[in-house]
A and B are shown apart, each in its own frame.
Chain A
Amino acid sequence: MDLKEKLISSFLAFENQVDTDTFIHNVRNEAIKMFEEKGFPTKKEEAWKYTSLNSVLKHDYSVFPTQENNVDYNEVKKYFIHDIDTFNVVFIDGKFASHLSQTTHDGIDVCLMSSALTKPKYRLIIENYFNKAATNDSLASLNTAFSSEGAYIHIPKNKLVQKPIQIINFSTGNETATMLQPRNLIVIDENSHVQIIERHQSLTDNPVLTNSVTEIFTNKRAIVDYYKIQNDRLNASLIDNTFIKQRQESVASVHTFAFGGKLVRNNLNFFQEGQRIDSTLKGITIIGDNQHVDHNTLVHHIEPNCESHQDYKGIFDESATGVFNGKIIVEKEAQKTNAFQANNNILISDKASINTKPQLEIFADDVKCSHGCTIGQLDESAMFYMRSRGIPEKEAKALLMYAFSNNVLNSVKIPEIKQRITKIIANKLGVNIGFDL
């Protein structure tokens, strides 16, 4: 039985386990039908031309978690941004881990999707927002069909949330292979501001496949800064589907730091439904081995006077492969749009490769849109310059690569995240030099 059949045949058992007497029952049933119809995407589809899921779909995954597993905080502390005060919503093998979490209902809701989907007091928000940003492509539909747990965050209007919120999904590897489908919903009302950090981390070398969906709604003048730290083990694969619906004058930024995992696909979608909206999509990808990272972005400019900024840097070593596919749609009504996109890549080895493709569909006539992509090697003259000052080859390389990705790091607003990413980069590049100062 292949994974698709297994998922479809498991669906009834899954639905029986969770509460079926809710609004979401219908949503789930429609979603599983959609998935059944479409199946997993293949390389025949334009959007998946350079990413094959075959190697990650072949495992016999346990498809929905039943067992409660436990891990000790000290074992996993290093995966938290622990030097600052944060709210934490933490899951182990898809189940909420209360001892690792710090949730709240004090003025804001930082809690669990499972409660939000079942308790009447959340019903209005769920009906208004749940699955209202996610598209009905096969992977998002699959997640919707199995959606039961994840982070639920609702920030009412005029709140400046002081503490960043961390959403962390651990997998213990207690099953031989695990498939996880976390589902997050984040609603930020008028004038509110929140910062969120998301991470997926496997704790053993058993295969893990995560197909996550995060829906984010920024209402009028709301601000969200979202950071995705992807530094998982080489057995773990992630399909991240993030959908952001923005209302007028809201500001949303997503930084994706892709350093780890076997296969990572980031489907990042912005929908601008209002005027004077600002969207930022930035990323640093540093991979080696046989790793594969695919950034598939969409910015949909629907109304006038909005901006979007995309800046992705990629460094590929050994046999690593990368994909950047950046689509910008500017509707006819979306006059005075400013849309920028840049994708710069460095190939360190002859075996590494990157496929980069900007896709601009512009129907308005008074817009500023620019895009550019580069693929290059390390600058040899810069290497000699640095080495002639006593900086060894490896360190010189690392410094150049760090400098190359530095302008993405500079827009990170939480210093501790910047420090952490800098450390991960130094680690990844095998050097022990402090990049700051």
Chain B
Amino acid sequence: MLKIENLHASIDDKAILRGINLEVKAGEVHAIMGPNGSGKSTLASVIAGKEDYEVTQGHIVFNNENIDELAAEERAHKGIFLSFQYPVEIPGVSVTNFMKTAINETRKAKGLEEMPAKDMLKLIREKSELLEIDRKFLSRSLNEGFSGGEKKRNEIFQMAMLEPQLAILDETDSGLDIDALRIVANGVNKLKNKDNAVIVITHYQRLLDYIVPDFVHVLHNGRIVKSGPKELAHELEEKGYDWIKDEVEA
């Protein structure tokens, strides 16, 4: 589904990603771990199409199509979703209105009619129940004054609404208490099926107890320096990242 080949990206001439290779197949869950500043969030943003980053080498291929030149919205239309580490507050746009616009614009891009209001409301009700979101919450301005947990839950709610093929969860566990973590993870697991894939970007192993990865990759200095099964995450939790750095630099 996703194939990243020798990806180099920089911002303001500063190289952040220095040759990433990664392949994600349908039905898989990949975890990307690594110390602060290793390039995890950059990788997520570059896949989603953030224009601040310049891809200097390599390619991103999604469903056999090179998406290097596609705008963020076009990638979204193709089924890529990024759950933000820091969701942006947008005063004056309600959660419902935002989702309605996002879904209808995606449908428009696919040549479909707008979703009838009745179906939209039903979908919203269904998905908000999945994430245990209060109805009142949906009429509030997007992310404005939301707690950390509410913001993350709202991200996964959006994911549930948009049903992406590939979801990238960037530090979705940060700022979550244990109950919120369980709700979010539960939501992701319910949405998971054999046709879609998830990339979980996280600093800690905690979230991976709930969303169990098939593969764990360690990112360091803009490269994937180690890949392994889910047990690798436990090892990192116990030993920290230093041994990997030592191993790489040795």
Contact = CB atoms under 8 A, between A and B. Distances in A.
A381 B88 contact: yes
Interface string B93-120: 1101110111111100100000001000
Contacts of B117: 437
B105 A388 contact: no
B6 to A, nearest CB: 24
B92 A389 contact: no
Interface in A388-423: 388-393, 395-396, 399-400, 402-404, 406-407
Contact of B72 (A388, A433, A436, A437): A388
A402 B98 CA distance: 12
Given A384-B50, A387-B76, A392 B90 contact: no
Contacts of B48: 388
Contacts of B96: 437
B42 interface: no
Contact of B93 (A384, A403, A407, A434): A403
Q: Which interface residue of A389, A399, A400 has the most chain B CB atoms within 10 A?
A: A389
Interface string B137-151: 000010000000000
Given A381-B88, A382-B90, A403-B91, A395 B71 contact: no
A385 interface: yes
A387 B72 contact: yes
Given A381-B88, A389-B102, 15 more contacts: A382-B88, A384-B88, A386-B98, A387-B73, A388-B82, A389-B81, A389-B162, A390-B76, A390-B109, A392-B105, A396-B73, A402-B93, A403-B90, A407-B92, A435-B97
Nearest to A405: B92
B88 A391 contact: no
A194 to B, nearest CB: 30
B112 to A, nearest CB: 12
B77 interface: yes
Contacts of A407: 92
A399 B101 contact: yes
Among B71, B73, B94, B97, the most chain A Cβ lie within 10 Å of the Cβ of B73
Given A384-B50, A385-B84, A437-B97, A391 B102 contact: yes
Contact of B101 (A382, A384, A406, A433): A433
Q: List the 7 closest pairs (A to B, CB-CB), nearest first.
A: A403-B92, A390-B76, A387-B72, A406-B92, A390-B106, A385-B88, A389-B102
Contacts of A381: 88
Interface of A: 379-382, 384-393, 395-396, 399-400, 402-404, 406-407, 433-437
A203 to B, nearest CB: 34
A400 B90 contact: yes
Contact of B94 (A385, A395, A404, A437): A437
A385 B87 contact: yes
B49 interface: yes
Given A387-B76, A437-B97, A404 B71 contact: no
B158 interface: yes
A386 B90 contact: yes
24 contacts: A381-B88, A384-B51, A385-B84, A385-B88, A385-B90, A386-B90, A387-B76, A388-B76, A388-B84, A389-B73, A389-B81, A389-B102, A390-B77, A390-B102, A390-B105, A390-B109, A391-B105, A392-B109, A395-B101, A402-B92, A403-B141, A407-B92, A435-B97, A437-B96
Kindly name the residue among B90, B94, B104, B141 whose own CB sees the greatest number of chain A CB atoms within 10 A: B90
A173 B139 CA distance: 47
A384 B72 contact: yes
Chain B: interface size category: 35 or more
A396 B106 CA distance: 13
Nearest to B102: A389
A388 B162 CA distance: 11
Contact of B49 (A385, A388, A399, A402): A388
A436 B97 CA distance: 7
A136 B114 CA distance: 56
A16 B106 CA distance: 66
A435 B98 CA distance: 9
Contacts of B52: 380, 384
A404 B90 CA distance: 9
A390 B72 CA distance: 7
A435 to B, nearest CB: 7
B87 A404 contact: no
Q: Which of A388, A390, A404, A435 has the most CB of B within 10 A?
A: A390
Given A385-B87, A395-B101, A390 B94 contact: no
A192 B105 CA distance: 47
A380 B72 CA distance: 13
A28 B104 CA distance: 59
A302 B72 CA distance: 55
A404 B92 contact: yes
A399 B103 CA distance: 14
Given A384-B50, A437-B96, A391 B101 contact: yes
A113 to B, nearest CB: 40
A399 B82 CA distance: 20
A396 B73 CA distance: 10
Best-surrounded residue of B76, B77, B106 (most CB of chain A within 10 A): B76
Interface string B229-244: 0000000000000000
Contacts of B82: 388
Contact of B73 (A391, A400, A434): A391
Contacts of B106: 390
B92 to A, nearest CB: 3
Nearest to B158: A389
Contacts of A382: 88, 90
A379 B88 contact: yes
A390 B162 contact: yes
Interface string B32-56: 0000000000000000111110000
B88 A387 contact: no
B89 to A, nearest CB: 8
B100 A437 contact: yes
B125 to A, nearest CB: 14
A229 B206 CA distance: 57
Contacts of A404: 92
Contacts of B90: 382, 385-386, 400, 403
